[in-house]
Amino acid sequence: MVATTRNDGGYDLPDWVPQAARHYIAHTEGGTPIRALAREAEVHASTVLRQIRRYEGRRDDPLVDDALRHLSGRAKPADAPAPAPAAPPDGDRLGAEGTRVLRRLVEPGAILAVARDMEKGVIVREDADGAAQRTGVVDRDIAEALALREWIACTDAGARIVRYRITSAGRAALRELIASVENRARGFAEGVVAFRSARGGGAEPRPVMAESPLNGLARRRDRDGTPFLSRDLVAAGERLREDFELARMAAGPAPDWSGLLAGGGAVPVARTEPATSSARARDRVATALGDLGPGLGDVALRACCLLEGMESLEQRMGWSARSGKIVLRIALQRLQRHYREVHGAYAPRIG
C-alpha cells in the first residue's frame, strides 16, 4: 500500500515525493494558489515560486517529466470520483530497489540507459577493454522516482537513449539507505552482509564494497598480456550477483545462505511460494551454487555476491596468499559452463 500525506493542498501523493514536487503538482494541476501552499508549508511565497519554476525547468528530463505526469494523474483530491492511474512505487519498494540500483551506479563507469517509451532501463558499465557490460535492469517507475528525487541525473536529455549517472545526492542517499538496513539488523540485507565462517564461526558483518572484486581482477593482466578474468567470466559473476540481489527483495525473511558457507550444500528452495521474480532469482542462485558445490560455490558467493576481497577470503579459508584469485577463476569457469548448459548461449533474463 502506498503511504500518503496530506500537506500538499489536499492531494494524495507517496511520502517519498519531494515537497517541492508536491507544490508544483498542487499548483499546476490543482490550481492551489502559491500563497496558500506557502502558508501551509510555513515558508515565504517566493520559496514556493522558486520551487515551481525549478520543477518546470526540470521537465526537459524525460524521467522527471513522466514522473510528474504520472503523479499528477494520481494527484486527485480525496473525494474525487475519477479513478487514478497505476500506483507509483511505495517507500519500501523504492528503498529496496533504490539501494540495488544505486549500488550498481556507484561503480566506476556505470550509467543507467533509458530509451523513450520503454518499460525498463538498463545499467551498463565499461569494462577494462572499453566494452559495455550490462549489470542490471531497472523498472521505469523506479527510474522515474530516482530522477525525481535527484538521485540520478542526465546531461543529454534530448538524446534517443538518455544516460543517467548517480549524483552526490544519490551517493548520500545510498549511505543512508545502507545505514537504515544496518539499524534494522535483518541478517542478509543491503549494506551489511552477515554470514557464518567456513570454519563454523559466528556471524560477522562485512561492509559492502563500492566495486566488485571481479572488476579489479579483470583489470589485471597475465604474463602474456591477456586479462586475468575474461569478459565472459566477469559477466557470469555479475549474473550471479544480480540474481543474488534480486533474491534479497523477496517478501518475508531474506534467504539464509550460511548453510552453503558452512559447507552444507545449496540452500533449499521453497516450492510452495508464488513464482515471483525474486523467488525465481533465488532458485537460480541456489541451483548455480549447488552445481558449483561446496568450496567453489563458497568462493563464488563470497566474491561475487558478498563482495569480499581476496585477502580477506584467503585468510578466512586458510589459503596461501594470492591463491584465492586462482580458485575464483576456476569457480567462474564452472559458473559460466553452468549458465551455458542450463540456459544456452545466453544467460536468463533478469527478473
- 264 pLDDT band, cuts 50/70/90, is low
At 272 the pLDDT is 47
- For 216-232, the DSSP string reads HHHH-B-TTS-BSS-HH
| Amino acid at position 6, single letter | R
Per-chain mean pLDDT for the chain: 77
Residue range 200-228, pLDDT digits in tens: 333 333 444 446 788 788 888 878 888 88
Cα angle: 217, vertex 164, 306; to 5 degrees: 35
Residue 76 has a pLDDT of 54
Say which range, 18-22, 319-323, 347-351, has the weakest mean pLDDT: 347-351
| Whole-number pLDDT of residue 187 | 44
In the chain, alpha helices (H):
19-28, 34-41, 45-57, 62-74, 91-105, 140-148, 168-184, 213-219, 231-248, 258-261, 277-292, 296-300, 310-317, 324-343
Note the pLDDT tens digit of each residue in 293-305.
Answer: 888 888 998 888 8
Does residue 10 come out as left (phi exceeding 0), alpha (psi in the -120 to 50 range) or beta?
A: left
334-345 pLDDT tens trace: 999 999 888 765
Cα dihedral value 120, 121, 127, 131, nearest 10 = 90
CB 282 within 8 A of CB 247: yes
Q: Can you give the pLDDT at residue 182?
A: 57
164-193 confidence digits (pLDDT tens): 999 999 989 988 887 776 565 444 433 434
Residue 314 cell numbers, joined:
584467503
Residue 184 Cα to chain centre, angstroms: 19
**pTM flag (> 0.85):** no
Residue keyed to cell 551498463: 124
